[in-house]
Amino acid sequence: MMNTVSAISLLAFGFALGLKHATEADHLAAVSTIVSDRKSIWSASLVGGLWGVGHTISLFAAGVAVILLHFEISERLARGLEFCVALMLVALGIDALRRLASGGQIHMHMHRHGGRMHVHPHVHDARHAQKEKGTHAHSAEPHTDHLPAIGARPLVVGMIHGLAGSGALMLLVLSTISSPLVGLFYILVFGAGSIGGMMLMSLLLSVPFYLTTTRFVRVDWAMRCMAGLFSLGLGLFMVYQIGYVQGLFGA
């Protein structure tokens, strides 16, 4: 049975590992493609939080399997999980570039909330822009899309990431923990670290987009394009590295 000091040290290590997990390149590439569309810093931080929640859900499910069923992650399975992440990065990058190529435009709308006027930027795709073309009048009804719906995409992306990278290392650590209770707490503190770390990283990533939306529209467009290209490029590199260099598809 672990003593109290050893358990606390292990949990602290798990939290630190969760924080580090949020800064890995493939995680930042995936989240940046989602954050680039968020014109609110608070909304962007929620994207990171949802990523962390999804990440923790998949890790918790796998962690329970490790603790209760003594499941072991083979090297080939770990590579397969990383390859799934690579394919997801390719898909996210293509989707981000597709949205830019479809003619999405940033619109500036003025709203009154609580007697105070402020400008609210958001992006419409080509169909929405065409629909609004020729009319500049706004409905008298209260504006309801001040914070556009985030959707389930960050949650799903986090779940896919959950078993890859240092997440797999987390499961390997679990296999060495003799106390099931400490193992479950380890998953939770690792998840808390990844949630907090990704919320912070999402907030930091969103700042350049937030600052350039109203004053430097072309710069904002260029940064969104770079986010898509980064995700696509990193995904393709990982596909080649994992699939062929590391021999995932080898005999």
Give the predicted TM-score (pTM) of the model: 0.74
- Determine the pLDDT at residue 149: 61
* Closest by Cα among 175, 198, 199, 200 to 186: 175
* Closest by Cα among 171, 180, 177 to 9: 177
- Determine the pLDDT at residue 230: 93
- Determine the pLDDT at residue 144: 41
- Determine the pLDDT at residue 85: 92
CA 237 to the chain's CA centroid:
19
The domain segmentation of the chain, as residue ranges, is 13-105+151-245
**Strands 116-124 and 105-113, bridge-based pairing:** antiparallel
CA distance 221 to 140: 31
- Determine the pLDDT at residue 166: 60
For the chain (length 251 residues), average pLDDT per consecutive 10?
69 82 86 81 87 90 80 80 92 90 58 54 47 42 47 86 71 74 85 90 84 75 90 94 85 50
- Determine the pLDDT at residue 167: 62
Tokens of 121: 């930027």
